[in-house]
């Protein structure tokens, strides 16, 4: 019985949730407001899944994943606005640019202790922030870059209704979940966790430490840039703060941290919980007339999770078994 219950939890429950979310857009009482919140959650989750690869499995604290989100978004948007390239194509250029930036960043910092990597990622995102604000002609400066509006167009990956993005978001979350499971089960995942837990011991056992860290970082950067393309298409705009700001960098970490670092289900559970929490606080803050209260909530959650629940929701569930 216990075993069957567990199997239900492992297989049937996720499929059930997936089916419910997939049917939602067709239901009459589900309005665009709810659908948009679900899309936000799905994008948030997929970004968290990408960050989880490098930080959760690899143990490298990247505070600069906003760079890849931003490059994915800006490159997709710029290619569309300036050259008319559809996002189906443009986002891959964004992925390539992100990979190049990650290669340079990683090449310069990943041979050092983890702390230097974390510090460098802060610097790189702030550098991109200043550049994006300064080169107004290209990026729109502080106001950000808005996509040329095309109405409903599959070619331009635009839609007035959020419903198509629910399906796009679901594809991202399911594929990223699969990638995470695959990495966890693969040789690469084993080596990444070995490096995370003890770099010296991993090196002594024959793991190519630098190469392992770099591979994890590149995979994670590419996944973030791809999700950045989806972000751009859904929000139709991106600005320096929401791409390269430290607030965004911290948001990207919350799904995995709250759900459980290094687990495949963690970012999904954490991201879903965070969106609910942020909807409630935004509603409450609007009533009370506070601004920027979501950062306070993020900070508090970050602090409390790290201090009292370092293994997140998944860790808490596992302990109960």
Partner 1 sequence: MGAYLDAALIPVGQALLSGVLVGGVYGLMSIGFSLAFGVMRIVNFAHGDLVMYGMYVGVIASTAFGVDPLYAIPLSFLLMALLGAAQYQLVFKRFVGAATLQQLLAAIGLGLVLQMIAQVVFGADARSAPSMFGGQFVLLGPLFASAAQIVAFIVAVLCTIAVEALLLGTRWGKSVRAVADDIEAAELVGLSAQTINITAFALACGLAGIAGTIMVTYYPVDPSKGLSLMPIAIIATTIGGLGSIRGSFFGGLFCGVVQQLTAMLWNSALQDVPLYVLLLVFIAYKPTGMFGFRTE
Q: Interface residues with partner 1 (CB under 8 A)?
A: 55, 59-61, 63, 105, 107-109, 111-116, 118-120, 122-124, 126-127, 130-131, 133-134, 246, 250, 253, 257, 290-293, 295-296, 298-304, 306-307, 310
> 3-state DSSP helix/strand/coil percent for the chain, to nearest 5?
80, 0, 20
Q: Select 23 or 304, whichever has its Cβ closest to partner 1.
A: 304
Measured CA to CA, the distance from residue 63 to residue 171 in angstroms comes to: 26
For residue 140, is it left (φ>0), alpha (ψ between -120 and 50) or beta? left
Closest CB 283 distance from partner 1, rounded Å: 18
Gap between the Cα atoms of 268 and 124, Å rounded: 28
Decide whether 231 or 244 has the Cβ nearer to partner 1. Answer: 244
Of 69 and 124, the one with the shorter C-beta distance to partner 1 is 124
Name the minimum Å distance from CB 195 to partner 1.
13
* Residue placing its CB nearer to partner 1 in the complex, 12 or 303: 303
Helices then strands, each counted (H, E), the chain: 16, 2
Identity of the residue, 18 or 108, whose beta carbon is nearer to partner 1 in the bound complex? 108
Cβ at position 312, least distance to partner 1 in Å: 12
Nearer to partner 1, 120 or 156 (CB): 120
Least Å from the CB of residue 104 to partner 1: 8
Closer residue to partner 1 in complex, CB, 178/310 = 310
**Beta strand segments in 68-204, E:** 145-146
Nearest approach in angstroms of CB 64 to partner 1 is: 11
Nearest to 157 by CA among 89, 210, 96: 89
Q: With contact defined as beta carbons under 8 Å apart, do 42 and 177 qualify?
A: no
Least separation, in Å, of the C-beta of 101 and partner 1? 11
CB 64 within 8 A of CB 125: yes
CB nearer to partner 1: pick between 134 and 211: 134
Residue with tokens 């250029």: 93
Three-class DSSP category at 205: coil
Distance of closest approach, residue 310 Cβ to partner 1, in angstroms = 6
Which residue pairs from 147-153 have beta carbons closer than 8 angstroms and sit at least 24 positions apart in sequence?
147/77, 147/80, 147/81, 147/232, 147/233, 147/236, 147/237, 148/80, 148/81, 149/236
State in angstroms the smallest separation of the CB of 105 from partner 1: 8
How many other CB atoms are there within 10 angstroms of residue 179's CB atom?
16
């Amino acid at each position: 019985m216990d075993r069957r219950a567990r199997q239900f939890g492992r297989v049937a429950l996720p499929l059930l949730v997936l089916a419910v979310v997939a049917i939602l857009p067709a239901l009459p009482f589900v309005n665009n407001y709810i659908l948009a919140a679900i899309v936000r959650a799905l994008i948030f989750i997929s970004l968290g899944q990408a960050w989880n690869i490098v930080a959760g499995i690899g143990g490298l604290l990247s505070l600069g994943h906003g760079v890849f989100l931003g490059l994915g978004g800006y490159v997709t948007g710029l290619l569309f606005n300036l050259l008319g390239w559809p996002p189906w194509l443009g986002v891959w250029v964004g992925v390539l640019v992100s990979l190049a930036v990650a290669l340079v960043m990683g090449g310069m910092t990943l041979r050092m202790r983890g702390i230097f990597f974390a510090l460098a990622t802060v610097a790189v995102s702030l550098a991109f922030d200043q550049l994006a604000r300064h080169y107004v002609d290209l990026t729109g400066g502080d106001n950000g870059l808005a996509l040329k509006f095309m109405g409903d167009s599959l070619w331009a990956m635009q839609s007035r209704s959020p419903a198509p993005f629910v399906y796009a978001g679901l594809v991202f979350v399911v594929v990223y979940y699969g990638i995470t499971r695959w990495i966890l089960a693969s040789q690469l995942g084993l080596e990444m966790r070995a490096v995370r837990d003890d770099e010296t011991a991993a090196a002594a056992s024959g793991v190519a430490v630098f190469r392992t860290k770099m591979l994890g970082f590149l995979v994670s950067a590419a996944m973030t840039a791809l999700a950045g393309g989806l972000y751009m298409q859904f929000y139709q705009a991106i600005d320096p703060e929401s791409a390269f700001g430290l607030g965004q960098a911290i948001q990207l970490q919350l799904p995995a941290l709250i759900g459980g670092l290094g687990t495949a289900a963690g970012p999904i559970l954490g991201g879903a919980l965070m969106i609910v929490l942020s909807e409630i606080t935004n509603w409450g803050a609007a009533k009370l007339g506070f601004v920027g209260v979501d950062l306070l909530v993020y900070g508090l959650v970050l602090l409390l999770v790290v201090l009292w629940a370092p293994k997140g929701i998944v860790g808490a569930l596992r302990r109960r078994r």
